[in-house]
Amino acid sequence: MEHKRAHCSFLNSRIAQKVNDIVMSDAKTGPIKAKRMPAKGTEGATHPPPSALARPKTPAQKEVSKLARWMRGEMVREFVRRMRRKRKGSENSRRKRKTALALSAGIMALSPGAVEFGRDAPSHATVAAAEASVDAMKYRVDAEKLTVSEAMMEALAEEEGVMLTVYRDVAGYPTVGVGHLVRPADNLKVGDTITYEQAIEFLENDIKHAEEAVKRLVGDLPLYQYEFDALVDLVYNVGEGNVSASESPKLNAAMKAGNYEAIASQLHYHTAAGSKANGLVYRSERRQAIFSEAAYGDPRPIEISVSGEVSA
């Protein structure tokens, strides 16, 4: 088993390096991302990597493009596996802390003073439990109470892809991980490599920035969990500056009016460098499906060849 894990780790490191080599060597063939500049307050906003052979012409280019897509998928799957393992470890730690707190509360309850106090006022734990009992998948709640879901984190990784070598995006900004915009504090330069664990940390921090941006955007408008997720994806993709009142007046007007259908209709961003990009069309469709139907699946068509090869 140890040998198998070591082999998988070696294979994924080779896959990661190969994908990065392909993208780094062919970054000028055309972007598939929304054209934007980092706006004020969007430090850490994301920049999707340019496609390897975005416009394949020769048979050799097409083969390399297919290989790059397969490698990209492998890297995303490995990233998701590691993210789930980390999440599971965190959940186990939280359960242990809750158990310890519950035992402490039980001991305190045996104290006459504690019993008298409990009769007069509810504990903070009781209030928190009552608030936590509201299912945001069934009821709209204050956005301040929401954080992005696990399903959205994984969907976002699928859309952005995972790059372990720092590269320059089409706007010239150093980028790495799941579309993380490299900052001076990261102490990274183009060509440097990071681990999956670092990529997960970057994503978690960038998600927090996007969550806060969405909360500023919606104000006191209540949201379902999946509506919140879709808006986080939007901000993560295009940056907070591009959803401002000046840049997206219809979106902001729909939010002020509390018109959820109108909000859904404004979640599409299709152009890249002035032209329509299929990748952004599919991502917009996915975002709108998440917002309106809680449908997190990838809308891209799946093709299976006679030899059993699967491609998107």
DSSP letter assigned to residue 300: S
What is the SS3 assignment for 73? Answer: helix
Half-sphere exposure of 294 (CA within 13 A, CB side): 11
More confident residue, 302 or 160: 160
Proportion of the chain in helix, strand, coil states, percent, rounded to 5: 60, 10, 35
pLDDT in tens, 275-297: 677 778 889 999 999 999 999 99
Q: Measure the CA–CA gap between 151 and 228, rounded to whole angstroms.
A: 12
Q: Measure the CA–CA gap between 232 and 240, rounded to whole angstroms.
A: 10
Q: Measure the CA–CA gap between 85 and 89, rounded to whole angstroms.
A: 6
Q: Which CATH number fits domain 2-86+144-305: 3.40.50.720, 1.10.530.40, 1.10.10.10, 1.10.3720.10?
A: 1.10.530.40
**What pLDDT, on the 0 to 100 scale, is given for residue 41?**
41
Judged by phi (left if over 0) then psi (alpha if -120 to 50, else beta), residue 148 lies in beta
Q: Measure the CA–CA gap between 200 and 194, rounded to whole angstroms.
A: 10
Contact call for residues 96 and 104 (beta carbons, < 8 A): no
pTM > 0.75: no
**What pLDDT, on the 0 to 100 scale, is given for residue 254?**
97
Q: How many CB atoms lie within 10 A of CB 112?
A: 7
pLDDT in tens, 209-245: 999 999 999 999 999 999 999 999 999 998 899 999 9
Instruction: Write down the domain spans for the chain.
Output: 2-86+144-305, 100-139
**What pLDDT, on the 0 to 100 scale, is given for residue 101?**
64
Contact call for residues 50 and 169 (beta carbons, < 8 A): yes
How far CA 40 is from CA of 37, 69, 206, in Å, comes to 10, 34, 15
